[in-house]
A and B are shown apart, each in its own frame.
Chain A
Amino acid sequence: MSLCKKKRQDDFQKVKLKVGKTKPKADNATNINFRTKGINLTEQLKKDANAPTTHRKLNIKDLLSQLHHYSGTVKQGALVGLRELLTLHPSELDQHLSSLLSEAAAVFTDKDPNVRMSATRLLRFIAQSVPAERTSPFFPLLSAHLSCAMTHIETGIQEDALKVLDVLLDHYPALLAARPALLLNNFLELISHRSTGGGARKGQEGKGRSWALSVNPNRNVTGQQWRLTVLLRLGRFLQAVVEERRAEEGVACVSGDMFSVLNGQGGANAPLELNWEELTYRKGGFQVFEHSGAMPTPHSTFKLRPETEPGAGVSEGLGTGEAVRGFASTLVPLLLDVWVEASASDRSKTDSAHLLTPDAMSLMYQVLSILQLLRKLAPQREYQDTLDVWFRSEYLGDFKQHFMKNFPYGNLDTPKQRRKTDPKRSKQSTTIPGQTVEPLALNVLLCQVMVSMVTLSQREGQAQEPDAEWLMPLRGFVQETLSSGAKLSQRHLHTLLETVWRMVITQRSRAVTEDLLQAVYVQYQQMNLNLQTRTLLLSFYSRLYLQEHNHTHIARSRVLSRWLAALPLQLSQLGHRNPALSDRLLLSIQAAASRGNKALLNSLHTHACRLYDPQEGSVVLLPAESQQRLVQLLYFLPVMSQGLLANLSRCCTAGRVSAGLAASLIRIIHLRSSLSGWSVGSQDMTLRDVDYISFLFSTLTGSDLNHCLCPTHRKCATAWRRWGLVHSALTYGVLVCTHLCACVCNCVSLSQTGLAVVPDSMAAGLLRAVARLLDLSFLPSEPLLRFLSRCCLSLLSLLLTLQQDTAVWGACVAVLSSIPRLLRLVLQSLRVKDLCEEELPQLAQILSLLLQHTALRNHMLANATLLQHIIQDLTRYCRGESKEQWMTDLLYCYSVTMATHRGNLGLRDIY
């Protein structure tokens, strides 16, 4: 009890408070002796397993919904987050493409420049990873937002819209170009405004025009620079339209890129290329389609008339010639204004008006390139000419006045000025992406634009004089640039060559042509040109040459013929270093040779021996296709000299050309000989028969000598194949004539003396040739026959080792059956006495083979006594082993042969 009491007192002890003493702290007093800091939870803790998120754990839906947030930073963050999400999880892009594009496009017109920038970046990212065909369904939406931004009242948004356009032009040019109508107007409105009132009513009638250049003082760049940025995009856009149109037409690329395509290839249809050997041994058939060769296509290339408007609804913008013309009539005056302003602004600064600041220069360059593109916009090839005529009639005066006034433009660089404007320029250069135009580029482009104006007037027979006057400085400039010897870049050279081409075609004067071509030739003769440039120049000339038929002034050009004459030398000097270039050269040579160009043929003749040299001539160094061209060139050679023929035969035998090619070489030479029955034309009898035949035989002997050096089995097979081909070539027209036989015999006796050992294949070939060539009336001489008989024998013994070789056997049989005396000689030379034991079975086998052959049987019978002697000898010398298989075989054959015809004696006499 007392314990309990005490405890109670402990619990409720009274705390005494006294005045003047600090109050003791309560037990439950809060310690406020700490400092706080805010914690931001940027990431959610929740983790959604099915949707991938950014590092902030936001999934794509959150991000997209954040784009509707009022705050600019949130939106920007969302755009950045989207980009991050898509880089981490590219699969998200496929699923959400439509919502992504629509949301991103919606912020093109956002007030905050940072948001717009991020949106552009996001768009670029998407565009990089999504191909055009998958974007195409969303493209109307994108372009609607784009044009909304382009026409926005705020200048900043307008400027950023151009960046969006850049992205689209980079990645989806074809989609943009598909509906050009709306965008073109937007471009116009960016640099000008439509003046309402009198102008509109007059419409497009020449000078009373409805659009005027505008200047917006609010922009943070000068009017000129703004125009430059807009024109740059317009240029690129038009380029895209032109390219898309070209892709549509397909065929047009031939004339579009002048010098790239040489022999009219690249049509819409792919022809079917077949090889007879494949054709014969392939199981399935092939199919040629009615209008398209290898691949089926529903479109026939046969057109009754040009189709009118392929898709009426879509291509309102530039689909027809009239539409292009309408657009041009609005744009060209504006461009002229831009030009005038650009040139005028400089003139105040300097007294020499042809010197330009870089800005003005690039602006002018853009103007010219857009003009050039406008010309190419004509929807069909037929409208091109009418468009050109219209351009000429409408604007030639203006162009002459403005463009030609200070024609060779130069660069204005005074160091003082540059220093002063330096900081400013560095700021501006951020707005204008990499535009520094050299004066050369400007001048060259100007030439091209102006020269394109001249085209058709000449054909219609108008007066030349006014044109010649303003063409003078242009021509002077072109000539000077080309012949100065300076290296030109690929693009400039291409433009210049096109200009020269146009001038040559239109100017139809020989002196002008000569001068221009001479200037190009200076370029051509430069030493270290790279391959592309060289090819460009080469194809310029070869195209020019191929065009010459209706331009006599080109055909008679001395420069051109000098160029042609130099080609064979170049080819031989080039060797194997550059097969592509050699092929180009060969194409031109072949074209000229087939046209019988004197200069070329003479030069070809002088260099023929080098070209066809068996060691380092082009014919053995180049790839197979070029080799074939070279071989075909032989047909056109004016004279076949003995040296050349010797080279050729060594080419054939050296084994560095394929067997097929060697055969076709022989065939071509055969065609040129008088034995072929094909008249070569004016160059008849330039190959003497003697030369031809000596060529054939030197090929024959050489070929086999070479092959007997490496008598592996496979090589033998190829040699035989070649033999067959050569042989067929030989026997074409070479029908039996004694003159030829004499030749053969001479050759044979020659080879007889020259060769101690005759290779097997050659022997067989000789036998075949003799069998085919020999006339019954011709009596072969004794030594020849002896030689042949030896060949025959050795071949027959060879035959026993190579079992299946029917060609050798055929040759032997043919020659033996055609010359009975030869058979007799063979049999006579079978002297059993001189043979050793091991050779007897061989002999017996040969004999039984001969006996078995029906064609020979009669001849064998004629020599029955001889045969009988041999068999008797045989049985005598191998009496011990008469039970051997070969002996019984022989006896059986012999008895059968004899029995069928006479049915008497035979075996009984022997025993």
Chain B
Amino acid sequence: MSAPMEIVLSADSAGQLWNCAVLELHSGTNLLAYRGGNTSSRSLTVLNGEYILGAQLGKNFINVWEIQRKDQLQQKIVCPGIVTCLTASPNGLYLVAGIADAIYLWEVSSGNLLAILSRHYQDLTCLRFSDDSSHFISGGKDNLALVWSLASVVQLDPSHTPEPRHVLSRHSLPITDIHCGLMGPQARVATASLDQTVKLWELSSGEMLLSVLFDVGIMSVTLDPCEYYLFCGGSDGGIFQVSLCSQSLSRDKTFQSDNEGNQVFKGHRNLVTCLSVSMDGTLLLSGSHDETIRLWDIQSKQSVRSINHKGPVTNALIIPAPANMFLPDSRPGIPLPRFSRHLNPSEQGEGVETGGVCLRLAPHTQSVFGDGENTKVRVSELEEEVRTLKKVNKDLYDFSTQLLTKPS
């Protein structure tokens, strides 16, 4: 059997049999299970395709597994407080955790704690990165969602406390879930809240585009990859589908006639806590407090499969299968360092054993090109391109002068 393309990663709060399970997306067969502890809500994440991280429910540490060794905990990252949400950047360079009302940002390569952002007034509920890792969004129980630019947060400038790029402050009750779409800094962000609304924002300007008011509080939200549909998991177990672009009426008029009330996926009997859409946008995964995860066919809105868990589902996500997952002999590219608990390890007397150089971006350099080596390559590439452009331009000019000056 060939390795599956996409897998389902799910965890529940009971954790009787395993902490988190890996299922095949289409057949629903159980592939792997990682053991030890249980994972709190919105805190299961895959780092760089090599590690699985999950914050322990109600405790102040994060469980880490190497992705190919399912039985053994690789490490426990001890944190200053109970971790309420956790996420790793898609490029695998940074790890962000919400601990009480503060956001902790670690650099994965060194394990240094780069920043503690305490701009929320109450506990955090959700953290999400944009797909190019340039921004992350944090939502909390103080009704605020903050957009942070990663580059400005990691700047090494003691006098300057990092400020969020945008404050999304139009919700009137705690934020329950955030989804960040594709397209890097031009992405659209969906936030769900207990105030029965889901709002769609533009990441670049921080402006609200859409607000949908529901009959029930919304516990989870996601967009399909094309951003045609918004899926909202309600606190009564319904999943509401909002179509973001009107279909052309001429083409599918027959289907439009019976669209009354058919935009709800009915099946769950309790809070829908997590939603995720597959890469091709045909399958929707939902996890609920009624101890099941369900797989839905989006087109027909039918439940394709229901998988029982032993406790309320805390995390369920569809991810592309990491390469290492099914190769028991593989090793992660980089060993995970020890994550520090304090902002400046040198002052605490730790971390002196590493003789490495700490490379941080200066306050005023632009962070467009990443690190130094890349820059050189990039600059030479750009110079090359400018040269070719000039040549093309000159050719065009020559050609047109010839054409114009030619006696007709």
Measuring CB to CB, which residues of chain A are less than 8 angstroms from any residue of chain B?
263-264, 267-269, 271-277, 279-281, 283-289, 291-293, 300-302, 549-550, 590, 594-596, 629, 632, 635, 660, 663-664, 667-668, 671, 676-678, 680-682, 725, 728, 732-733
Contacts and interface: CB of A to CB of B under 8 A. Distances in A.
B211 interface: yes
A812 B256 CA distance: 36
A725 B196 CA distance: 14
A288 B245 contact: yes
Interface of B: 119, 121-123, 141-144, 161, 163, 167, 169-170, 172-174, 185-186, 194-196, 199-200, 202, 204-205, 207-217, 219, 235-236, 240, 242-247, 249, 256, 260-261, 263, 270-271, 289, 312
A681 B174 CA distance: 11
A728 B242 CA distance: 22
Given A263-B170, A677-B312, A595 B122 contact: yes
A728 B260 CA distance: 21
A769 to B, nearest CB: 16
Contacts of A681: 122-123, 141
A260 B44 CA distance: 43
A196 B248 CA distance: 71
B215 A660 contact: yes
A680 B173 CA distance: 11
Contacts of A682: 122-123
A569 to B, nearest CB: 22
A-B CB proximity, top 5 nearest: A285-B246, A301-B205, A595-B121, A302-B204, A293-B209
Contacts of A680: 141
B207 A594 contact: no
Contacts of B167: 264
A283 B258 CA distance: 10
A80 to B, nearest CB: 54
Contacts of A263: 169-170
B51 to A, nearest CB: 27
Given A671-B217, A678-B271, A635 B210 contact: no
Contact of B173 (A632, A725, A732): A632
Among A275, A288, A671, the most chain B Cβ lie within 10 Å of the Cβ of A288
Decide if the interface of chain B is mainly helix, strand, loop or mixed: loop
B130 to A, nearest CB: 13
A277 B263 CA distance: 11
A292 to B, nearest CB: 7
Given A667-B216, A732-B236, A677 B289 contact: yes
A517 B262 CA distance: 56
Contact of A550 (B144, B161, B207, B289): B161
Contacts of A285: 243, 245-247
Contact of B207 (A280, A288, A301, A676): A301
B143 A594 contact: yes
Nearest to B58: A679
13 contacts: A264-B169, A269-B209, A279-B242, A283-B256, A285-B246, A287-B244, A289-B209, A301-B204, A629-B172, A663-B215, A671-B217, A677-B270, A678-B194
Contacts of B144: 594
Chain B CB within 10 A, most for which of A269, A289, A550, A681: A681
Contact of A728 (B121, B210, B236): B236
A280 B260 contact: yes
Contacts of B161: 550
Contact of B217 (A275, A595, A596, A667): A667
Contacts of B246: 284-287
Given A301-B207, A302-B205, A280 B261 contact: yes
B121 A594 contact: yes
Given A632-B173, A635-B194, A732-B236, A271 B204 contact: no
Contacts of A283: 256
Contact of B210 (A274, A549, A663): A274
B210 A271 contact: yes
A279 B161 CA distance: 43
Nearest to B312: A677
B285 to A, nearest CB: 19
A16 B198 CA distance: 129
Nearest to A635: B173
Given A271-B207, A732-B270, A596 B169 contact: no
A276 B245 contact: no
A664 B197 CA distance: 12
A279 B204 CA distance: 27
Nearest to B245: A287
B226 to A, nearest CB: 13
A594 B261 CA distance: 34
B263 A671 contact: no
Given A677-B270, A678-B271, A635 B207 contact: no
Given A276-B240, A732-B270, A301 B211 contact: no
Contacts of A289: 209
Nearest to B123: A681
Contact of A274 (B170, B205, B213): B213
Contacts of B236: 728, 732
Contacts of A288: 200, 209-210, 244-245
Nearest to B188: A290
Contacts of B289: 677, 733
B172 A293 contact: no
Given A272-B211, A301-B204, A596 B122 contact: yes
Most buried by B among A263, A279, A590, A676: A279
A731 to B, nearest CB: 9
Contacts of B202: 291, 301-302
A554 to B, nearest CB: 15
